[in-house]
Chains A and B, each alone.
Chain A
Amino acid sequence: MDLSLNVNGRPEQFAAQPNELLVERLRDGLGLTGTKVGCDTGQCGTCVVRLDGRSVKSCLILTAAAAGSAVTTIEGVTTPGGELSGLQEALRQEHGTQCGFCTPGMVMALGELVDGTADREAPTEPEIREWLTGNLCRCTGYHSVVRGVQRACSAARADAPAQPATAAASGQEG
């Protein structure tokens, strides 16, 4: 069937099998390999992309079901070699990535959380952890990722001039 998607701001048209998964279209069809496949069962979160702004696991959704939507992948967050987003920069400063295989999925999942914080209360640590439960990381133990999100939320709030800049508790570090 002929389908179309808007991927990272670019319209894409292609023929797809009805059983094709969105992650297959992105990785194999469009060559956007930043999105990873870590499991067969929707458990690991390495394949998370944003679909019309909401983070979804692209291994759990058919391309056909996403047709007509706007997809943002990790490649759509920055330009190649370009400046990091606020969240990516905060994760870099906290060394929130080791092998990096879980990282694109985390950036995409956490992006939704961080984006929403400029105009509301910063998420608490338990909220961040709750948000992260769909993403597995075997390297970091998640602590540095949580610190990165806290840092990113602080920065996002500080950058939003209309809002009082409340420092999120970073709880660390010597």
Chain B
Amino acid sequence: MTTVTGETSPQGGGVLGQPLDSREDPQLLRGEATYVGDIDLPGTAHMAILGSSVAHAKILSIDTKAAEQLPGVLKVATAADFTDVMPLPCIWIPGGVESHFPPHPYGLPGSRPVLSGDTVRHVGDPIAVVVAETPRQAAAALAAISVEYEPLTVVTRADEALAEGAPQLHEAVPGNLNAYWTCGDKDRTDAAIAAAEVTVELDLVNQRTINSPIEPRGAVGDYNAATGEYTLYASTQGPHNHRFLLSALVLGIPFNKLRVVAPTVGGSFGTKGYLYPDMPLVLLLSKALGRPVKWVDTRTGLMNSTVQGRDHRQHVTLAGTRDGRITAVRCTSYANLGAYPSTIGPGVATALMGRSISGMYDIDAAFCEVYAAFTNTVSLGAQRGSGRAEAAFLMERLVDRYASEIGMDPAAVRRKNLVPKEKFPYDNGLGWTYDSGDYQLNFDRAIELSGYADMPARKTEARARGKRLGVGIASYVAICGVGPSTRMSKEGMLGGTWESANIRVHPTGEVTVTVGSASTGQSHGTVFAQVAADELGIDPATVQVYEGDTLKAPYGQGTYGSRSYSMAAPAIALTARKIKSKLVKAGAVFLGVPEEKVVYADGQVFEEGNEENTKTFAELAMAMWYGWGLPPEIEPALDETTHFDPPDFNYPFGTHVAVVEIDELTGETEVVAYTAVDDAGNIGNPKIVLGQIEGSILHGLGQALMEHAEYDLDGQLVSRDLNHYALPRAIDAPFFTLDKTVTPSPHNPLGAKGAGEIATVPPAAAVVNAVVDALSDLGVRHIDMPVTPEKVWRRLRGEAQ
């Protein structure tokens, strides 16, 4: 359960900042929302994908004859059927790194073909498709395809893939090294470490995890032969982006002949922004067969094909003084990109992680290097808190290690090194410039709320019950609000990362907002209506929000990295301001007074000093629609668009404190209390953000305690379904104590910072710190995630890790 101590803080006294009920919830609660699996177009045929059963092999032959004979089968296709289709692109190649893959038009690098032909590189690598009348017939036909493989040696770890003599995944990529990427100042950092009074080091494994949205992915392709237009319905968090990538870069069709629709999407957490082979396949097969083609993944299919997360092996070093001043941090990381570069995976594994490693601390010298390697595993991508969670984990583990080395309280060490308030904007020396923050206030609040001072007494009390109590702190800064397009281009992102919004005021005074963003469960329809209503001074019930359909909405990147509220919402606010200023101009005509005398407030215009002379929003809307009597410089109607490209990112931050109890007999770790104080700037709807924070914390605790995508030596994913991959259940959620601080970002007109996933960033570090604290008297200095009872049980009995 959760206690929330923070006040809700409406910003302008209007509807923004209020905990309005989500208007999306009723239809979700009635089961009436349409997810991609629920779409049933007339004449739909069903597609199933055959994934490789081995992790690395040459394909000697594929025999599809038996499958073709089976009842209901309409088509069986292999790579040979798609030779004129371009490979899927990778659009985030970290700065300074060359792509080894053949380029696309527009200079974009390629990544993988829609179907693998000669070689397979991970279990689940798609090699054939079947389309049949029913899903069952399609699945049955898959089983009738026989594939002859010549097995190749398998490698599943990044460091091993880079070793001499390792199996080679791609001819074009010698040594399996996709990227050697660095940030920060190596010489300065090395020198600071060499000269330091104290240094501490850790070898860390940030294990591979599977995001596991509860809805697996799906896609429906519908080609219209009469118009030559394609429609893709897909569980996507970025319909516009998918439209761009698929039309121009994969299918080679005109941009304006592809429409992408995101219906209701059942969670994503980063995984549904990627381009997957199934998307072009349903479109191509729909064209070939003249019928809509539908594909819905299974859970096992998802686990063997949808991007996975984290997966770094790191050697990290921190240097400091005997009295607790951190002087340098250094990280060498081996990142496992999987078998192919996913749409943005290489950027996640490098820039998002590396530039974040110094966290909330004012450190003079910092350096991070990442070796991003290919292995025979599913491609790597984003995962709730991606990159930033990995960074927070290494830094916060190091700080605790350092504190114990110098015999200082971990809270005191952190407090001493926080970036001081007066240093903002703060250049962290790794490439990010933090916009704003009051880290001391936030940190002190978390420490106080967690009852940190009482921990020694609680430890003694727990010991009497056969439990070891440990407390762990983790602070973080999360880069959000991707982003400033030019800045992202320097980061290697190929594409504009701005966001757009359109507001159309109808003659009846109702308002339609369309945005390029696309919700995957964040109640955008509620929150974005609040933004428009607040600016325009009207009732949010009269505002309707549309998104997720490229035909209806202007372009936008979509929802990822907690960017919607700090990117799309500012675009809405700025558009509303354009509407208001037009209404002030037109109001002068309608009220018969000079423009300087016209005031817009509370959804009406009136004459300054003569409030009787007024026109309501609805009256203005109708008058603008008629357009009668408007001077030539004022166009009729109210229809405005803004493309918002912020000057820089925004940087939410926070401090979490975990308290765990370890059972001496069983080694079980229970999180018995969890305190989180996050700062996401100004918040649009605290009720919705509260839900996101709660879910995010549990996701982070999942990585700490139970989640692990485990591959065996043959490259088989052992944790291939939910019997073998543990997700947190309701009984795993501890009591949360939540609060917030509010430091507005100067980089957007709402003062917003990212919120949705930020609370996933610190929990893993907080929990592992707490576990190590509980076991420290046994000489335990580190324990790898997930912290399973068996691992702890062994450590309790003195076994080494």
Contact = CB atoms under 8 A, between A and B. Distances in A.
Contact of B697 (A126, A130, A141): A141
A139 B267 contact: yes
Nearest to B723: A41
Interface stretch (A32-40, A61-69, A112-120, A158-166): A32-40
A130 to B, nearest CB: 6
A138 interface: yes
B674 to A, nearest CB: 11
A78 interface: yes
Contact of A142 (B21, B24, B730): B730
Most chain B beta carbons < 10 A, residue from A77, A100, A129, A147: A100
B3 A40 contact: no
A37 B35 CA distance: 11
A139 B729 CA distance: 12
A80 B22 CA distance: 18
Given A34-B30, A34-B31, A143-B733, A100 B696 contact: no
A54 interface: no
Contact of A140 (B26, B38, B691): B691
B7 A174 contact: yes
A75 B29 CA distance: 10
B699 interface: yes
Contact of A103 (B7, B29, B40, B699): B29
Contact of A35 (B24, B31, B691, B698): B31
A92 B733 contact: no
A13 interface: no
B522 interface: yes
Contact of B1 (A31, A46, A143): A143
B214 A99 contact: yes
Contact of A138 (B30, B134, B697, B727): B727
B694 interface: yes
A91 B25 contact: yes
Contacts of B5: 174
Given A95-B22, A133-B729, A143 B694 contact: yes
B29 A88 contact: yes
Contacts of A37: 37, 296
A91 B31 CA distance: 13
Contacts of A147: 1-2
Nearest to A85: B29
A99 B721 contact: no
B733 A138 contact: no
Given A43-B721, A141-B696, A36 B30 contact: no
Contacts of A82: 30
Contacts of A137: 214, 695, 730
A143 to B, nearest CB: 5
B722 interface: yes
A138 B267 contact: yes
A140 B7 CA distance: 21
A99 B265 contact: yes
Q: Chain A binding site: helix, strand, loop or mixed by DSSP?
A: loop
A43 B264 CA distance: 22
A55 to B, nearest CB: 15
Nearest to A37: B37
Contacts of B300: 40
B203 interface: no
Interface in A92-113: 92-93, 95-104, 107
Contacts of A74: 30-31
A72 B300 CA distance: 28
B213 A138 contact: yes
B769 interface: no
A78 B1 CA distance: 29
Which label, helix, strand, loop or mixed, suits the secondary structure of the B interface?
loop
Interface string A134-174: 01111111111111000000000000000000000001111
Contact of B722 (A43, A101, A104): A43
A146 B733 CA distance: 11
B298 interface: yes
B575 interface: no
Nearest to A142: B730
Nearest to A79: B30
Nearest to A101: B266
A91 B3 CA distance: 18
B216 interface: yes
Contacts of B698: 141-142
Contacts of B38: 33
Contacts of B37: 33, 36-37
B1 A136 contact: no
B434 interface: no
A101 B214 contact: yes
A95 B721 contact: no
Contacts of B216: 38
Contact of B694 (A34, A73, A141): A141
A44 interface: yes
A94 to B, nearest CB: 9
Given A98-B522, A100-B33, A103-B31, A136 B727 contact: yes
Contact of A84 (B3, B30, B521, B733): B30
B33 A39 contact: no
A107 B27 CA distance: 13
Interface string B249-274: 00000000000000011111100000
B215 interface: yes
B692 interface: yes
B4 A34 contact: no
Given A33-B37, A142-B698, A172 B2 contact: yes
Given A98-B523, A173-B2, A40 B299 contact: yes
Given A88-B30, A138-B727, A95 B215 contact: no
Contact of B688 (A95, A102, A146): A95
A96 B697 CA distance: 16
B241 interface: no
B699 A138 contact: yes
Interface string A12-42: 0000000000000000100101111111110
B215 A107 contact: no
Given A98-B523, A171-B1, A136 B214 contact: yes
Contacts of B134: 28
B736 interface: yes
Contacts of A44: 214, 299, 722
A98 B696 CA distance: 12
Contacts of A102: 214
A39 to B, nearest CB: 4
B425 interface: no
Contacts of B523: 95, 98
Contacts of B692: 98, 139
Interface string B1-13: 1111111100000
10 A-B pairs with least C-beta separation: A34-B31, A99-B521, A100-B28, A101-B266, A74-B31, A43-B722, A141-B698, A132-B730, A141-B694, A98-B521
Given A74-B31, A173-B4, 13 more contacts: A31-B40, A36-B35, A40-B299, A82-B30, A95-B687, A97-B29, A98-B695, A133-B731, A140-B691, A141-B698, A147-B2, A172-B3, A173-B3
Interface of B: 1-8, 21-22, 24-35, 37-38, 40, 134-135, 211-216, 264-269, 296, 298-300, 520-523, 687-688, 690-692, 694-699, 721-723, 727-731, 733, 736
30 contacts: A28-B134, A28-B135, A33-B40, A36-B215, A38-B214, A39-B298, A39-B299, A43-B299, A43-B723, A75-B31, A92-B25, A95-B688, A98-B267, A98-B695, A99-B520, A99-B521, A107-B31, A133-B729, A135-B730, A136-B214, A136-B727, A136-B729, A138-B214, A139-B214, A141-B696, A142-B729, A143-B736, A144-B694, A172-B3, A173-B4
Interface of A: 28, 31, 33-41, 43-44, 46, 73-75, 77-78, 80-82, 84, 88, 91-93, 95-104, 107, 125-126, 128-130, 132-133, 135-147, 171-174
